Structure 1
Amino acid sequence: MFETDLTELSTADLLASAAEQRAEANRREASLLEHALEYADRHHPDTCPPRPGRRSWQGRERAVVLGGDGCPEVAEFAAAEFGAMLGISAGAAANLIGQALALRHRLPFTLARVRSGDATPWRACRIATACLTLSQEAAALVDKQVAAIVDSVTPLRLENIVKAAKWRADPDAARAAAEEKARERGVYVAQSDEHGTKKVYIRAASGDVIRFDATIASLADALKTLGDTDTLPHRRAKAIGIIADPVYTEELLRQARAQLLTQTDPGPETAPQAAPAPSPAPSPDAGPGTEAGAEPEPEHGPEPEHGPEPEPGREPEPTFGSEPGPDDEADRDAPHPSHSDLPDPLDTPTGTPGEPGWPGPRVDSDAADADAGEPLDAAAQRAFDARLAQIKHDAHATPPTVGGGRSAGRVRPGQTEIYVHLTDHTLATGDGILRVEGLGPLLATQLAELVGHGPYTVKPVIDLNDAIPVDSYEIPDRIRERVKLIHPVEQFPYGTRETHRAMDLDHIRPYDPLGPPGQTGTDNLAPLRRYTHRVKTFGRWKVRRLDRTTLEWTTPHGYRFHVTPTGTHPVTDPTADS
């Protein structure tokens, strides 16, 4: 791998060699930008004009602007082959081409420093992405202000300087962006982490959030009353799963209140006392210093500590326990080329409670530990889980009705369908790794947490080895479901989109209305997102099935790729066209 034995180098020479390796990597990245520019020039609409009669609304190729105002147009499908050759998705390739064009046509001073080796290419590309929405004139003003400092300040400082320069260059756009951000409301769910945990980010009206928080707090208190010894933050997290079922929520709160009243009933042998003013009863595990009539401290979590307001048009910086903080930004390496720099509300986590940048209430770990009781042993945990399951059963055994008279109907709990992939050994032993669609790998012991306390229905396993065809062009749901299970990810080279019910299913061998029966089947369908479906249909790509698990794609210039369950594999002896 290396021409010299690194063990023979002195420490000083080793450091110098590492610096040279970084410099060489930067030169190669700069060269890749030059390749992207030349490739874009060769795919300008003037060099490959559309045929007469083509209409973009028919799904055919269009001319698109990738780098922002002032950049030339590029043929839309060009990014697909460029990305395949780089081993990245078509979307990531389009971002790279757009960044290169933006540097040449909008940020020429920054590009000059990249070409001279005075600016790191990936930092320059981030500046190009940050200025994507600016006019060409405003981008030129930013270019003049930041070109000389691309590599002389840390990435975090550079990001702040670029942001300030953008506001100075186009203050109206900055104000409009801030106002638009203030109008944004929604609930966003992030991807699952490696431990089967998800994060939810909510932006809603203050009153709605306060009422939601109060319900979560009530459920956390109810769980404690029923015997849950977990900490308050953990009980609040469990409440998220309970509140998804309104009937279960109501029944659990009702039974918890009934148990509180039973525990605080003085009984017939207790001397009568003056009735105190109505107040919440003390919790079952109140200490000896708690007075019978005293109001316990509410368990609604600490009050939020409001930090400084976020700057206009900007979300709080995401922070993670294992990722670098603001002081470590100087050590942040270049992003992976398959990662997009474009914002996505579903990929904008807001940190973890207790960490810098977390906009919610601070979590006092000492208080949380003090709130927790003794951990339940295995038998007690099973008994507690059984009680929750019984409460849920009671809630839906005699569900409330809607309407009246003969038209009255029962309100049934909502149904959630999950697909679990596991081996026969894991199924028999309850120990091992399984995969849940939409979540990823989980431990088998986490499945009970995912399913909850029922009711649930186990459907028979679908044998995916059977090829199921139909004669019609339209795809029935039973075949669509099988294709989704067979191919969890789109079947285009380096495709990143997970298969879902609304995704296009392409006929690998084009459907012929006059052809033989059974053309629409699990062995002739491949999931593709709309862009790659159009690339395959109108972009001179070819595809054929080699076996039931392998598709062979051929690019317009003759490069071949095999897409299998293990990913995308370039064919080492392509018959490429010149």
Structure 2
Amino acid sequence: MTSTATHPSSTRNSRSVLDRAVAARSARRRAEAAELTAALDWAHAHPAVSTGHAASWTGSPTALWGERTISLAGVGAPLVAEFAPVEYAGAVGISHEAANALIGDALDLAHRLPRLWALVHELRVPASLARLAAQESRDLDVDAAAHADRLLAWQPTRLNPHRIGVLVQEARLYADPDRAHADHDSALASRRVDVQHDAGAPSTSQVHMTLDTADAEAFDDTVSAMAATLGALGDPQDLDVRRARSVGILADPQRALDLLAVVDRETGALDDGETSPAAEDAGFTPSSPYRRAPAHASGSPSLVLHVTASDLLDPLRPGQGGVATSRLGPVLLERLARWLVGAHVTVRPVLDASLIAPVDRHDPPSAMAEAARLRDETCVFPHCNRPSIACDLDHIEPYVPPDEGGPPGQTSLEALAPLCRRHHRAKTHADFSYRRLRDGSYRWTLPGGFIVQTDPPHRRPQPPR
């Protein structure tokens, strides 16, 4: 039984509603693209007549006489006469600052991010996201902006404010490693931990932490191990509650050590299936604010990195390459080297999908599961950005056990696709279906008959050399 089932007579009405929603969305994107194009045409019609006067984005209030040149966009975009945005703002009915921003974003998109600009006109990327990308990349030089443009246009349906920031930072990392170092040092200088007792529900407080990424990974691993131990000891509460309890236990170093001493950090299970009185006491002692001072606790997180040999071995750019991670974003090789001091490093070959044979069981072997998640980085439902590492692996065609007449080899790399739990449940329990096309995209049929499709995968753009 599906919760989305509808009467046949209402299916046509439902489809009509979806058609109108899609049309309205397309009309809005078309109007926003047209507004950006008008701002660009206005800028082109009012070029700067002179570059002899330096000026800032907001202009100088002391320069009363004459019309000055102002730079609204990044390097490589044309300059605009000072009073052009003033006239545009008055005619359109927006503030001068809004006109400056609109014209500057249009210039950046057209002249520095042309691939993204084309996607805006194809209605594949909303103007609001494209404008955010223009603002985020404005400090980049021409070559770095070109690489940012390639990265942004690589998987346009996955763009969101956070991903835009990550991709632009990746371009910045390659173009200006000194700036990346300075940004890193500045970010570390802003680390803090805030405890708010008056913001949570009764009997709870809120804790907000800004940590070094390496410390955050270690902290997350330690909390996860402690929560798993609490569960193995019989704590019936949800994982989130056990993780919160684990943070509280960390306030007492000895309790934390007692709890961690009996857990296998690789599996999260109790060593040899046994425990100790100290661990049980640590797991079930009630919380108390009157405990010993905190001590440093370090976990052993597992992090998968993808890095090219050219970045590792380039003698002209030692330590200046980068590595892309799905969880942490772009990381400088020099910073990565500091993380790996004393760590256990495993170098693994690239998986050859042609050597992964089908199996006659429901759950795929580890190599097949990893290959499926590497092939599809996210849930394959359109516009879902849930990382595939956190997704279920779904049989595109429902799996039938062999003892119930199912054919052999149902579990294969081609038969699997990552789905987040929400979309997995929708496909399993409602009238959602999909199939993989030859180009690697996925075509979904929704309950009302509406068809949507993902973009085919594209090779990640290479950084400039």
TM-score (norm 2): 0.37
Of structures 1 and 2, the one scoring higher in RCO (CA 8 A, sep 6+) is: 2
| Structure that is richer in helix per residue | 2
